[in-house]
């Protein structure tokens, strides 16, 4: 018993404890520079390549939208999980978050991806939502589209134009169209 009290006295009479007790302050509420916050725009020009949408793991977190002065990605904070993958995937450095962009330039890291479209003919009900939602080749000649309703079904016209943005997958009411995105993390050798 007495030993215990002596122990506690010793613990609470340490100079550090007394100093902290009298002078303790809450740490200032600052966000450290390395914190991966919601991605913000750097002001560089977006080329609407949809790589950010392709890699985003959270449903509905990012959308590349057209404004009067060009394309711009928009982040929806309620959906974004702040993973920073879109920052790494963007080839034009449009987005940035924490030190992700800096680290990427330093380490020369990036992602390489291939896409494979597949349509399950059994559950596809030919509503055409995928063809309408697909953002690729909207303004080019009519043959520049990836998907088209033809001969009573969805046809894949130009699978090499697919950017993997998975808009069709999201808009399909039946999960009839799937975009496989095979992503590899790569790094260029140091110069």
Applying CB under 6 A, the residues found at the interface with ligand SF4 are: 39, 46-52, 55-58, 61-62, 64, 73, 75, 80-86, 89-90, 92, 94-95
Instruction: Tell me, residue by residue from 73 to 112, as one string, x for binding to other proteins by CB under 8 A and - for no binding.
Output: --------xxxxx--x--------xxxx--x--xx-x--x
Q: For residue 182, give every residue at least 6 positions away whose Cβ sits within 8 Å of its Cβ, in sequence order, or none.
A: 113, 114, 115, 116
Nearest to 147 by CA among 157, 135, 162: 157
Length of the chain: 191
DSSP secondary structure letter of residue 189: P
Tokens representing 90 are 């963007």
Quick check: 38 binds other proteins (CB under 8 A)?
no
CB 191 within 8 A of CB 119: no
- Give the three-class secondary structure for 186: strand
- Could you say whether residue 184 binds other proteins (CB under 8 A)? yes
The mark string for 50-69 relative to other proteins (x by CB under 8 A, - otherwise) is: -----x-xx-----------
Q: Which does 106 bind (CB under 5 to 8 A by kind): ligand SF4, other proteins, none?
A: other proteins
116 lines the binding site for other proteins (CB under 8 A): yes
Residues 43, 47, 49, 50: is their CA dihedral positive or negative?
Answer: positive
> CA-to-CA distance for 40 and 149, rounded, in angstroms?
37
| Smallest distance from other proteins to CB 37, Å | 9
- In the complex with ligand SF4, which residue's Cβ is closer, 46 or 117? 46
Rounded-to-integer distance, Cα 65 and Cα 121, Å: 30
Rule CB under 8 A: is residue 42 a binding residue for other proteins? no
DSSP category for residue 184: E
Would you say 81 or 125 has its CB closer to ligand SF4? 81
Instruction: Note the residues at the interface with other proteins (CB under 8 A).
Output: 1, 3-4, 7, 11, 32, 34-36, 55, 57-58, 81-85, 88, 97-100, 103, 106-107, 109, 112, 114, 116, 178, 180-187, 189-190
């Amino acid at each position: 018993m007495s030993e215990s009290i002596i122990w506690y006295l010793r613990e609470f009479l340490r100079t550090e404890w007394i100093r902290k007790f009298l002078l303790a302050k809450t740490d200032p509420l600052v966000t450290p520079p390395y914190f991966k916050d919601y991605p913000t725009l750097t002001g560089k020009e977006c080329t609407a390549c949809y790589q950010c949408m392709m890699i985003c793991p959270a449903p509905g977190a990012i959308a590349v939208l057209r404004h009067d002065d060009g394309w711009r990605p928009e982040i929806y904070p309620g959906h974004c999980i702040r993973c920073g993958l879109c920052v790494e995937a963007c080839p034009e450095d449009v987005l940035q978050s924490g030190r992700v962009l800096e680290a990427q330039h330093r380490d020369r890291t990036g992602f390489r991806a291939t896409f494979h479209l597949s349509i399950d003919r059994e559950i596809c009900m030919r509503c055409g939502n995928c063809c309408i939602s697909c953002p690729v080749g909207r303004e080019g000649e009519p043959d520049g589209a990836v998907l088209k309703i033809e001969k009573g079904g969805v046809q894949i016209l130009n699978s090499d134009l697919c950017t993997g943005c998975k808009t069709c997958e999201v808009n399909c009411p039946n999960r009839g169209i799937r975009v496989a995105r095979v992503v590899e993390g790569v790094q260029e050798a140091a110069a």
